[in-house]
Amino acid sequence: MLAPADLTRLATDLGGLPILGCLAGSPAGNAGLCYGDIILSINGLSTGSWSDFFQARRQITGQISVRVFRQGVEFDAALELPVTADSPREVLGAATQRTVSVALQLASDTPEIFS
């Protein structure tokens, strides 16, 4: 498994974006994408930067086709996107809040780990 920095360099060299993790139940998680995958395009639109990714994402609702690079092989994955009016900033903010909530719950359930 590549370290995050190495994965990011590889993704940059390939003109894509690294997947550093997927939330369970997310469209990417449901499609089987995982840490180490590299998103090359969405519906044929290049995703060489996060700006490209969000621009492509804004143009699409419903099901999308994502071109993925995994361990030397390229393949297409179908993702079912929820219909939402949320901006990328709102989506990231909600994901951050969920992550913090889970961490706080874990800390309260297992205080011996954090002492």
**Overall fold of domain 4-83:** Pdz3 Domain (2.30.42)
Side chain identity, residue 40? L
Query: Residue 112: its pLDDT value, please?
Result: 61
Q: Name the 3-class secondary structure at 40.
A: strand
Q: Global pTM?
A: 0.70
Binning pLDDT at 50, 70 and 90, where does residue 25 land?
confident
From CA 14, how far away is CA 87, in angstroms rounded?
27
**Higher-confidence position of 115 and 64:** 64
From CA 49, how far away is CA 41, in angstroms rounded?
10
Mean pLDDT of 61-78: 92
Query: Residue 101: its pLDDT value, please?
Result: 67
Written as six digits, the tokens of 67 are 């071109």
Q: Where are the domains of the chain?
A: 4-83, 84-115
